[in-house]
């Protein structure tokens, strides 16, 4: 049985991990999401720190320790349950065929599709495969989301003060509630919740007989933050997960920087392909965000901020999108954050060549 996918225009985004065998980082899902589990492993002292540091309301979101993150929704929830009980964020999107992530999904789900074809008595033929993705936010306690909203506002001001040339956006920071629906009306919002679910729907249809079709769904619980946007900047939104103290300090930086650099990343994509473009965008955004995270931790006196920011970098070398981030950080240390931003805006290729030289 052959499987094929039709190419479609795709919106940028990123991801991590997998529950149920599907995996797709066509959305930019921060190391925030991807590295969260690794961060838990490299910072065994967080539970101790939580018990021994006094937090005021400004840093309420940093109170959570490893156990609370690990235990939250530890049992898998079915995709239909997630879709019926959590908050839709953004439109359902198509994952681009031909990308590394699409192929991983297709190959991963193919045995199950073949099993279903035989079970239903369908023809063994060429099937067209399509994959869609939808995010669902998990609401959080007001005490945490309110402190995150306050931090995000200050962090974005801090970003604009330290990196010249960024487009200044008015972000509507909005905690999500159980009955909300941001499947529409999400443009230019900064949504705040505990964490989120990613629901992927895989469909396979017989090219010779479209009545022979199969649909499979998967849900995946993730911590961390992300942004979704189109390459033309016509719409965008940000999600910040309040449930993970390891990544939240850097999150406003790494999700706002792409609002400016995406046009340049898109041009790079036209020359070198989708996967390399995602890597380039992640590299400059995450490297600058790392340095800003250390700076704001010191200037704002964020409890344990330096250690949390450093821990958020754990496991980067295992993820293709972030493999060049350590090199970019070293380049920034020798030059500057502003130099990195300026060079990327001049040419993503020149930036990637420079950090690898």
The helix/strand/coil state of 237 is strand
Our separate counts of H helices and E strands in the chain read: 13, 9
Q: CA–CA separation, 258 vs 159, rounded Å?
A: 12
Residue 221 has, within 13 A of its CA and on its CB side, a CA count of 20
pLDDT in tens, the chain (357 residues): 444 443 333 333 433 333 333 333 334 443 343 334 333 333 333 433 334 344 567 898 888 754 444 445 555 678 889 999 999 999 998 998 888 778 888 888 889 999 999 999 999 999 999 999 999 999 999 999 999 999 999 999 999 999 999 999 999 999 999 999 999 999 999 999 999 999 998 999 999 999 999 998 888 899 889 999 886 778 999 999 998 888 899 999 999 999 999 999 999 999 999 889 999 999 999 999 999 999 999 999 999 999 999 988 887 768 889 999 999 999 999 999 999 999 999 999 999 999 998
Cα 300 to chain center, whole Å?
Answer: 26
Nearest-CA neighbor of 293 among 223, 225, 208, 355? 225
Alpha helices in the chain (DSSP H): 31-42, 46-52, 66-71, 79-85, 100-120, 142-162, 251-256, 258-272, 274-300, 305-311, 325-334, 337-346, 348-356
Q: CA–CA separation, 192 vs 351, rounded Å?
A: 32
Domain ranges within the chain, ordered by starting residue: 3-356
The DSSP letter of residue 257 is T
């Amino acid at each position: 049985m052959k499987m094929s996918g039709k190419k479609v225009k795709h919106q940028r985004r990123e991801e991590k991990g997998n529950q149920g065998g599907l995996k797709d980082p066509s959305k930019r899902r921060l190391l925030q999401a991807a590295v969260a589990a690794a961060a838990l492993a490299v910072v065994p002292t967080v539970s101790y720190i939580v018990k021994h540091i006094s937090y005021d309301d400004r840093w309420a979101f940093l109170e959570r320790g490893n156990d609370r993150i690990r235990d939250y929704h530890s049992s898998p929830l079915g995709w239909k349950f997630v879709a019926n009980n959590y908050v839709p964020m953004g439109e359902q999107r198509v994952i681009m065929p031909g990308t590394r992530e699409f192929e991983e999904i297709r190959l991963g789900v193919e045995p199950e599709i073949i099993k279903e074809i035989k079970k239903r008595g369908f023809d063994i033929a060429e099937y067209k495969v399509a994959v869609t993705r939808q995010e669902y936010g998990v609401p959080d306690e007001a005490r945490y989301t309110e402190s995150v909203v306050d931090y995000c506002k200050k962090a974005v001001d801090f970003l604009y003060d330290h990196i010249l040339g960024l487009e200044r956006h008015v972000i509507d920071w909005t905690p999500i509630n159980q009955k909300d629906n941001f499947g529409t009306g999400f443009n230019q919002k900064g949504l705040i919740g505990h964490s989120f679910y990613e629901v992927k729907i895989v469909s396979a249809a017989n090219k010779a007989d479209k009545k022979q079709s199969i649909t499979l769904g998967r849900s995946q619980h993730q911590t961390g933050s992300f942004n979704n946007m189109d390459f033309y900047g016509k719409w965008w939104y940000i999600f910040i997960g309040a449930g993970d103290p390891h990544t939240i300090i850097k999150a406003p930086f790494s999700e706002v920087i792409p609002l400016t650099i995406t046009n340049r990343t898109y041009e790079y994509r036209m020359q070198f392909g989708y996967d390399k473009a995602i890597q380039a965008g992640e590299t400059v955004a995450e490297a600058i965000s790392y340095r800003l995270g250390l700076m704001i931790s010191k200037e704002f006196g964020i409890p344990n901020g330096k250690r949390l920011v450093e821990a958020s970098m754990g496991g980067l070398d295992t993820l293709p999108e972030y493999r060049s981030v350590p090199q970019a950080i070293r380049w920034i240390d020798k030059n500057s954050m502003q130099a990195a931003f300026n060079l990327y805006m001049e040419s993503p290729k020149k930036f990637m060549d420079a950090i690898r030289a």
